[in-house]
Amino acid sequence: MDDEIAGRIERLSPEARALFWEVVRGGEETEFSIPPDELVINLHQRMAGLPLQDRVEFVDLFRAIKRQAHTEGLQLDAEAVQAEGFIRLIKRAQELERRAGRPIKQDMTLGEALARLEEAEDQ
């Protein structure tokens, strides 16, 4: 959770902040599965007792957290794709080593693989 979201949580009224953390804990305990209807009804009833400003901020906070998680997920996906590309380069360099009759270095680094691929390209 970034500083902006933490600050927004702290600015909630004590009642709204307690409800926010209760919802977060409940989500973590159920691995964010869809809650039973009675919990949803209870949450709506409790939110109805909060000042309007807190109700709006409460919902906006969860939207901000969702956006942040989505962005982080996209970044992780991009890093995974990049890592897969690096793995393919290393495997290609290892295959060149095997074809050349040299021992295959199982812990070959990306730098070593790139050097081997460049060497093969120059030949």
Question: Tens of pLDDT along 58-96?
Answer: 999 999 999 999 999 999 999 999 999 999 999 999 999
Q: How confident is the model at residue 38 (pLDDT cuts 50, 70, 90)?
A: confident
- Each residue's pLDDT tens digit, 94-111: 999 999 999 999 999 999
Q: Could you give the CA distance from residue 14 to residue 21 in angstroms, rounded to a whole number?
A: 11
SS3 61: helix
Closest CA to 114 of 87, 81, 89, 82: 89
Nearest of 27, 23, 65 to residue 44 by alpha carbon: 23
If you compute the radius of gyration of the chain from its CA atoms, what whole number of angstroms results?
A: 26
As a whole number of angstroms, the distance between CA 61 and CA 108 comes to 45
